[in-house]
Amino acid sequence: MQGSDGTIYPMNGKFEEILKPERLVFSSAALDKDGHPLFEVFNIITFEEQHGKTKLTMKATISKVTAEAKQYLDGMEEGWSQSLVRLEKYLTKI
């Protein structure tokens, strides 16, 4: 993952379920400099058509949190917001 300031935040993850066009389920983990998870997140994202627009709902469940994870968790909402803005820009181009 790349922050708005260009900082790279190593992560890994795995898609658990892809149900087009309704739902994505995946797990992810932010990694420390040695590649060890700082915390894990189980994500469920749903897409629902409402009045010609798409309603996106996200649920993130955080687990296995280490002492070093706080700064990353504090930025999680902003990180998702930036990612969704980028997605919107991408979708308007295609």
- pLDDT tens profile 14-34: 999 999 999 999 999 999 999
For the segment 31-79, what is each residue's pLDDT rounded down to a tens digit?
Answer: 999 999 999 999 999 999 999 999 999 999 999 999 999 888 988 888 8
Write down the residue that tokens 């890994």 correspond to: 12
